[in-house]
Structure 1
Amino acid sequence: MNPQIKVGTAFGIVILSLLASGFIAAMLLLGLQPFVNPELVTSLSIFLGEAFLFLPVFIFLYGKQVNIREVFRLKPISSSVIQATIILSFGITFVVDELDRLIGIILPPPDFYLDLIGNVRMENPLALFILFLGGVAVAAIVEEMIFRGFLQQLLEKIWKDVTKAVLVTALFFAVIHFNLWWTIQIYFLGVLLGYFAWRTNSVFPGMILHAINNALAMIFANWGYMAEPWYSWNGHVHPIILLLAIGLIFYGYSRFDSAVKQSSRQLEPLS
């Protein structure tokens, strides 16, 4: 990581990335809109917006004599860490779903917001494929590289305070989603993603959690009615599923902690 990059510059380049990706995606879609199925326009906007998000950061770092793998925390992780993260991620996602429902009672989302959620319901198979590709795979990879790889890591090194770096990055991550009704949920996930990145010094565990969370959200948006009889209970996640999710979190974290410690021991030099 280049120590000459300042905090303001780092936040500025991330904001520029958000603005540039939105502008490029919008311009491309304005040209396609008269000729393309509306569902394809929606899915392409998500895919292109996520894909172009990486471009300004990459251009900024290009030629600065930095190690790209190090800057974006692209450190390989063991299969044990991967397995534990998958278990943890499913438990976390179901608990966050219940958190979302509880917050929805206190702060009910308006009708226009519910209509926006309906935009990710697709009948066109190609649009659905592009939606999952952009909203799950590309979003998880690009956003984790930028926020937990580039930004959080820089803040950790400049501030010398991991907790502050994780919390500030998570807050920034939540705010830039411009979604008042998901701010708490996104912030909570952002803190967990930041913890994973710091604990393993890798963005790959965060990519797994990010992808599983987004994938399940889109699956439920499109086919949630099929799971409603057994998944929901009086407007909440069924208590049995919630208990199983909490169990997955405890079991998954136990395995995650052991796997990370084991990986650290294997990297220690022999005396």
Structure 2
Amino acid sequence: MEKVMPEIIPKTKTAIFLLIFGVIFGMTTSILIVSVVTTRDSTNDATYLGLLVGEGLMLLPVALFCKKLGSSYRTFFRMKAVSAKSLIAILPVGLGMVVVMDEMDRLVQMFFPAPEIFKQIDRIMTIDSIQSALAIIGFVVILGPLFEEMLFRGFFQRILEYRLNDVTKAALYSALTFALVHSNPWGIVQIYIIGVFLGYIAWRTGSIWVSLFLHAINNGFSVLFSNLPDGALSGYEFHGHMHPALIIAAVAVFYLGMKWFVAVTPVVERDENIVFIENIHDSSTFTS
């Protein structure tokens, strides 16, 4: 019978190098685009363009490496199809998570308030025209999460799962890099927790699509909150925090949503038809 080529797993140091190089390349390109394209009337447009191109270019080194190996992009970036039930079940999980993370952010800001310059980041997500709405939603809610899930949960965490043979460590390390790349010391705890949870979802489903949907929900609400008029959430707040009743409800929704998600989403067994790149010439690694 015809032998099936196993999926090639690169070394951990190679994965780390590709990740770091991609991040530096993407960020540098983003800064250059913003500095070159920006005019007095197009600051936000240049920022959106720079961020979009920069995040996309973070994937380029990994994509080129994948092509060099002759691997499937679908497998290399963990883009296998998932059930509609899993996608639907994650919706209440996302809604509960948004409220809990919002309160956590408020608590962190009490003890470690972010400087004004970081608060100005919210202005980037301010929608003031159809053009800005398309740009913000397209980047912050759709393409940004897609690129990040492909890079961190699709590529990096997947390699660590095989190399470390420990899903927990793989998710923790991937989440740490995810948090550090966001370059926000005042939000690193929240981003790290979200990253760990997204890593669990990607591992359980064997795919990035559900974690992408959850990521998009989180970012979508961030855009929504940034564009609400002052006082719009006053009915849901209590002395500068989310109302206790809302937090309790959010935790309950999150818990029930997770029970539903776990019930309809069995753990996907990882593909064992793989070969570590250092053993690629060992013909015994091919299966018939």
State how far apart, in whole Å, the 1-side matches of 2:65 and 2:28 are.
18
- Aligned match of 1:243: 248
> 79, 96, 99: which one pairs with 2:84?
79
CA contact (8 A) 2:152 2:174 kept: yes
> 237, 247, 252: which one pairs with 1:232?
237
Compare the two structures and name the one with the higher helix fraction. Answer: 1
Structure 1 segments (4+ residues) deviating >4 Å: none
Residue 225 of structure 1 aligns to a residue in which SS? coil
Residue 137 of structure 1 aligns to a residue in which SS? helix
The change in CA–CA distance for 1:212 and 1:224 in structure 2 (over 3 A counts) is farther
The change in CA–CA distance for 1:251 and 1:131 in structure 2 (over 3 A counts) is same
State how far apart, in whole Å, the 1-side matches of 2:41 and 2:229 are.
27
Query: How many angstroms does 1:35 deviate by?
Result: 7.7
Q: TM-score, normalised by structure 2?
A: 0.86
State how far apart, in whole Å, the 1-side matches of 2:72 and 2:175 are.
24
Residue 2 of structure 1 aligns to a residue in which SS? strand
State how far apart, in whole Å, the 2-side matches of 1:178 and 1:48 are.
18
State how far apart, in whole Å, the 2-side matches of 1:95 and 1:103 are.
12
- Residue identity in the other structure for 1:87: P
Moved more, 72-81 or 47-56: 47-56
> 2, 7, 13: which one pairs with 2:8?
2
- Aligned match of 1:120: 125
- Residue identity in the other structure for 1:167: L
What's the CA shift string for 1:85-134, capped at 9, x where partnerless? 11111111110111111111111112222123333224233123212211
Percent identity, aligned pairs only, is 31
The change in CA–CA distance for 1:34 and 1:113 in structure 2 (over 3 A counts) is closer
What's the CA shift string for 1:19-56, capped at 9, x where partnerless? 11122233333442238522212222222222222222
CA contact (8 A) 2:66 2:76 kept: no
Q: TM-score, normalised by structure 1?
A: 0.91
Residue 265 of structure 2 aligns to a residue in which SS? helix
The change in CA–CA distance for 1:209 and 1:259 in structure 2 (over 3 A counts) is same
The change in CA–CA distance for 1:224 and 1:15 in structure 2 (over 3 A counts) is farther
- Aligned match of 1:217: 222
The change in CA–CA distance for 1:254 and 1:239 in structure 2 (over 3 A counts) is same
State how far apart, in whole Å, the 2-side matches of 1:30 and 1:108 are.
28
State how far apart, in whole Å, the 1-side matches of 2:240 and 2:229 are.
13
Moved more, 74-83 or 23-32: 23-32
State how far apart, in whole Å, the 2-side matches of 1:180 and 1:90 are.
25
Alpha-carbon RMSD across the aligned residues, in angstroms, is 1.9
Query: How many angstroms does 1:260 deviate by?
Result: 0.8
Query: How many angstroms does 1:226 deviate by?
Result: 5.5
State how far apart, in whole Å, the 1-side matches of 2:219 and 2:268 are.
30
- Aligned match of 2:61: 56
State how far apart, in whole Å, the 2-side matches of 1:175 and 1:199 are.
24
The change in CA–CA distance for 1:45 and 1:128 in structure 2 (over 3 A counts) is farther
Residue ranges of structure 2 left out of the alignment (5+ in a row): 1-6, 270-288
- Residue identity in the other structure for 2:258: Y
Count of residue pairs brought into register by the alignment: 263
Residue 191 (structure 1) aligned with residue 196 (structure 2): yes
State how far apart, in whole Å, the 1-side matches of 2:235 and 2:29 are.
42
Residue 47 (structure 1) aligned with residue 52 (structure 2): yes
- Residue identity in the other structure for 1:49: G
